[in-house]
Structure 1
Amino acid sequence: MARTRIAGILFDKDGTLLDYAKSWVPINYRIARLAARDDQALADHLLTACGMDPFTGHVTPDSLLAAGSTREIAEGMVAAGASFSPYALTALFDGMFKEAAAAAVPVTDLAPFFAGLKAAGYRLGVASSDNEASIRETARRFGFAGALDFVAGYDSGHGIKPEPGMVLAFCAATGLAPKAVAVVGDNNHDLHMGRAASVGLTVAVLTGTGSPASLAEASDHCLDDITQLPALLARLASDPS
């Protein structure tokens, strides 16, 4: 049976549009210090508990810091010893993450990348475990806000990854069936979200915390980065079987 043509693309943000190591490892150190109230030993413990080696900066694939929502990261740090309420720490992190867009490092020049996909007729969206305000600030800063048909963060009311809600909301906003949608992400929360929504294509990229081995099971294709996506989509469109 022929594959349904992909007409919409739903991107993850961190590790997919933004280089995770360059953009988020420095922020992880900052939020841990804040959560630890500048107690360095506790900050190191909080990072370790949430999936990051405080000495090397390596983040474990699919850990809280790799894939969790802001609320889940805050809850994880509170459970590991941060002396805040989860609600208060989530609010502090949300503010820091929005400000972090100013220091983010994109994988490629995102304005022409999104413009090219838009010109090719794709409906486009971003679904992130970050808050919606941070996503919109990132899109504004890098010049692709006008290309987006849909934006969802963990706080947008569509559920969190790996639940299918963000994908289904993208479909509702664009009028596309899930089988006409590709989900592109750097970790299994993204890919499992796509599979849970029965999308037509799941695409992993290696600019985040995942590896070919960790992403193989849930992805239909694994790319070095998003710049290889247009060629993949063109190839699939020419041979949809």
Structure 2
Amino acid sequence: MPIDALLFDKDGTLFDFAATWGAFGRAVLLRLAEGDETRAAELGQVIGFDLANSQYSEDSVVIAGTVDEIAEVLLPHLGDVSRDELVGMLNRESAQAPQIPAVPLTAFFEELRNSGKKVGLATNDGEMPALEHLASVGIRDHFDFVAGYDSGHGFKPGPGQLLAFSEHVGIEPSNIAMVGDSLHDLEAGRAAGMTTIGVLTGLATAEDLAPMADVVLPDIGHIPGWLAEN
């Protein structure tokens, strides 16, 4: 089937995961620990983050989890901080985190739009930080649809965000590709009946993604060539 629209994950797909979120993780944990590095390292272990090296483990809740899920893991270790306070802080810090594009994004999305493709974003991050991140690199206006975990469509690996995009742009799921760096992304794509494209700018390997991917590419910059060939 022809691909008339593409729905992208954000972290690890549009933006290089390790380069973008390592510094963010360290800064947030030190803030929660009031500057105590030992305490921050302990909190890092709770979410699968090595404070000393600013690296996430492959099973870290931060990789594919929602902000709510990250907060739920941290809350038992934070004394009297409320859930709403923690979620709000994480969203604010996330929105301000400098994003490191996986490829030159403006040229990439201009090429997609000029070829007539509809474009969307489905992330397990919050909608507000997602919009801030797209705007920060000048690509917000290229997107027909943006959904976070808190936009009312559910979150990945459920297919709700994906089906909402399909309905919004008026294109059948079979003519849409879901692009992501994690199994959550690709599982959602399969559940929605979409083509699934895995990319290697997150922490997952090609072997990790292969069972759920129709193709695994080094990064999103290889998508136009793959579409032309297929």
- TM-score tier (shorter): over 0.9
Alignment of 1:63-142 (within 5 A): 63-79=60-76, 81-83=77-79, 84-100=81-97, 103-142=98-137
Supply the distance in 1 between the matched residues of 2:92 and 2:16 (Cα, whole angstroms): 20
Alpha-carbon distance, 1:129 to partner? 1.3
Q: Is the 8 A contact 1:125 1:149 kept in 2?
A: yes
Q: What are the superposed Cα offsets for residues 24-45 of structure 1, whole Å, 9 maximum, x if unpaired?
A: 1110111222233333223212
Q: Which of 200, 210, 228 does residue 222 from structure 2 map onto?
A: 228
Alpha-carbon distance, 1:7 to partner? 0.8
Q: Which of 205, 210, 215 does residue 216 from structure 1 map onto?
A: 210
Q: Is the 8 A contact 1:61 1:187 kept in 2?
A: no
Alpha-carbon distance, 1:62 to partner? 4.6
Q: What are the superposed Cα offsets for residues 41-71 of structure 1, whole Å, 9 maximum, x if unpaired?
A: 2321222221222233332235311111111
Alignment of 1:33-52 (within 5 A): 33-52=30-49
Matched, 1:171 2:155: no
Q: Which of 167, 178, 182 does residue 177 from structure 2 map onto?
A: 182
Q: TM-score, normalised by structure 2?
A: 0.94
Q: TM-score, normalised by structure 1?
A: 0.90
Q: Is the 8 A contact 1:111 1:143 kept in 2?
A: yes
Supply the distance in 2 between the matched residues of 1:143 and 1:123 (Cα, whole angstroms): 17
Supply the distance in 2 between the matched residues of 1:49 and 1:150 (Cα, whole angstroms): 33
Q: Which of 49, 52, 57 does residue 54 from structure 2 map onto?
A: 57
Supply the distance in 1 between the matched residues of 2:42 and 2:172 (Cα, whole angstroms): 44
Supply the distance in 2 between the matched residues of 1:109 and 1:229 (Cα, whole angstroms): 13
**Which residue number corresponds to residue 21 of structure 2?**
24
Q: Which of 204, 216, 239 does residue 198 from structure 2 map onto?
A: 204
Q: Is the 8 A contact 1:115 1:144 kept in 2?
A: no
SS where residue 150 of structure 2 aligns?
A: coil
Specify every segment of 5 or more residues in structure 1 that has no aligned partner in the other structure, as ranges.
237-241
Supply the distance in 2 between the matched residues of 1:46 and 1:137 (Cα, whole angstroms): 27
Supply the distance in 2 between the matched residues of 1:168 and 1:42 (Cα, whole angstroms): 42
SS where residue 89 of structure 1 aligns?
A: helix
SS where residue 182 of structure 1 aligns?
A: strand
SS where residue 203 of structure 1 aligns?
A: strand
Aligned partner letter, 2:78 = A
Q: Is the 8 A contact 1:18 1:104 kept in 2?
A: yes
Matched, 1:193 2:188: yes
Supply the distance in 2 between the matched residues of 1:6 and 1:46 (Cα, whole angstroms): 43
% same residue: 38
Q: Is the 8 A contact 1:62 1:210 kept in 2?
A: no
Specify every segment of 5 or more residues in structure 2 that has no aligned partner in the other structure, as ranges.
none
Supply the distance in 2 between the matched residues of 1:87 and 1:97 (Cα, whole angstroms): 15
Supply the distance in 1 between the matched residues of 2:61 and 2:48 (Cα, whole angstroms): 6
Supply the distance in 1 between the matched residues of 2:35 and 2:158 (Cα, whole angstroms): 35
**Which residue number corresponds to residue 239 of structure 1?**
none
Supply the distance in 2 between the matched residues of 1:190 and 1:223 (Cα, whole angstroms): 14
Cα RMSD, aligned residues only: 1.4
